[in-house]
Amino acid sequence: MATEHKNLSYYDESHLPDASEFRIGIVVSEWNPDITEKLLQGAKETLLRLGVKKDHITVWHVPGSFELIYGVKRMQKNIFIDAIIAIGSIIRGETPHFEFVSQATAQGIKDLNVLNDTPVIFCVLTDDNKQQAIDRSGGKHGNKGVESAVAAIKMAWLKKNS
């Protein structure tokens, strides 16, 4: 497994751009809230620690990971944001539903990045079981929300400077 010996929360702050003027959006799935709210917490705490002003962080909730696509699209169109983090958690079940939702969500987020000018960070956990999700949302592998916040700052900088 790719993250077996890696803590997702490690980053070198000295190599990140000044984030004090960035506006970051976060769209969060309400499905598996014990996981997604920890990812949200990790992302928000990291953005604040790295200099993003509290009133420059906008959070919207949507029912599930599939709905992240529409939520992000509306955020891109309706408010000025430098980057958006899409947070979700899809845990494999007994039916193919996991495959359909995971694929559609990934493709939808990819499409938004291709079609629009606001970068979207994919912070959607696609895990085989609940323990894997726990391990990546503040457990032994760190918090993917932290990693996504760092990526959002880097992509916001790229957007403003390219």
The model's pLDDT over 69-88, given as tens digits with 9 standing for 90+, comes to 999 999 999 999 999 999 99
Q: Is the pTM of this model over 0.75?
A: yes
Catalytic residue among 5, 15, 61, 97: 97
97 labelled catalytic: yes
Number of domains comprising the chain? 1
- Domain membership of residue 65 (yes or no) is no
- Domain membership of residue 21 (yes or no) is no
Q: What percent of the chain has pLDDT over 90?
A: 88
What secondary structure does DSSP assign to the chain, as a single string? -TTTT--TT---GGGS---TT--EEEEEE-SSHHHHHHHHHHHHHHHHHTT--GGGEEEEEESSSTTHHHHHHHHHHHS--SEEEEEEEEE--SSTHHHHHHHHHHHHHHHHHHHSSS-EEEEEEEESSHHHHHHTEEETTEEHHHHHHHHHHHHHHHHHT-
Domain enclosing residue 39, as ranges: 33-59+74-136
- Domain membership of residue 128 (yes or no) is yes
- Domain membership of residue 13 (yes or no) is no
- Domain membership of residue 50 (yes or no) is yes
- Domain membership of residue 110 (yes or no) is yes
- Domain membership of residue 151 (yes or no) is no
CATH number at residue 39: 3.40.50.960
Q: What percent of the chain has pLDDT over 70?
A: 94
Q: Mean per-residue pLDDT for 140-145?
A: 94
5 band by pLDDT with thresholds 50, 70 and 90: low
Of residues 26 and 15, the one with the higher pLDDT is: 26
- Domain membership of residue 144 (yes or no) is no
